[in-house]
Amino acid sequence: MAVNADKPTRWKEDIARSVDLYNEWFLAFAPDTYRATRVDTTKKVGEALRLTGNLRTLSPATLAEHPAIVPMLRMATAPPIARDRLVGLARVSKTLVYTMENDERVPPRMRPAALQEELGRIADIILRLADRDLFTWLEPPRKATEQELFRASTIVADRLCGAMANPIVRNAQERRQLAKLKKWLEAHRYRFLRAGDGVRLETMAPGTFTFRLNVPVKLEGGTTTVNIPVDTVIMPKKGRMPLTPLLVEAKSAGDFTNVNKRRKEEATKMAQLRANYGKRVRYILFLCGYFDSGYLGYEASERIDWVWEHRMDDLHHFGL
């Protein structure tokens, strides 16, 4: 029996309360979160400048050894360039740039000669497009002052944080949601398991929970296995045997538009889990923010239920 998905008469009130809760959090904490990230990013930009001789030199060896500096270097150009623009301008593989930025490493299977050549082309583009109005010591060449370096680092950090503003806020909100789940579960005598300590879905003991667990599933055809990341996995203390874990996806949103673009993600994940673990799989959403009736109706039609952050005790109705 559904807990919230089959009660559309309550959706309007819940949506309003959820929006209010998200807005209160955003106004109270998002500016500080953004500011702290900008301070940290400014330090990282300063280190990136040091590694590149304050943008006078940029070698393939430096990029290979410090691939995490690529996003900062993209923001040091005039104009700042997106990842795909860098791929096109430098005529390099998308896999190379995306692996450097997302995984902070170069592709391990890439041939050394090809890697050296493509890293060289990336370096050439960055140095060619470096913002001369920002890095005023480049033309004519001279030594940069400490004040100039700090000013340039701050501006590049602002550009980078501006491009990442939504992910910064979204990640902070996710951490807050998981902290609230942890507090609620521990208050009800559930024991936390660290996901890195060999935790597996099928061996979790009753009354335990974990965060960010990779659940293996076989794709259609059964020849390929992939891991589906689940934010929270909870094994109830009691219930019909064998006990079925509750899989919880923490979701937050600062506007109504993006959630409807992403709503198919949960349905796809649910279908894959059911195909591998049977119809008894319980997969729900933990919602805070802007989720309208269109989003809720779509999830309900996919047999996905949810718990609102402003009414967490609904977790009891899922056997917790």
pLDDT digits (tens, 9 = 90+) for 194-243: 876 677 877 788 999 999 888 888 777 667 788 888 899 998 987 666 77
Distance of CA 228 to the CA centre of its chain: 14
Ordered by start, the domain boundaries in the chain are 8-29+166-318, 37-165
Is residue 297's pLDDT more than 70? yes
**CATH architecture for segment(s) 8-29+166-318:** 3-Layer(aba) Sandwich (3.40)
Cβ 22 vs Cβ 254: under 8 Å: yes
- DSSP code per residue over 188-209: TT-EEE-TTTT--GGGPPTTEE
Q: Which residue has the higher pLDDT, 261 or 75?
A: 75
Enter the tokens of residue 86.
């860098």
Angle between helices 293-301 and 11-51 (to 10 degrees): 100
208-218 and 246-253: which strand pairing?
A: unpaired
pLDDT digits (tens, 9 = 90+) for 165-204: 677 788 888 889 999 999 999 999 999 988 766 778 777 8
| Half-sphere exposure of residue 148: CA atoms within 13 angstroms, side-chain side | 14
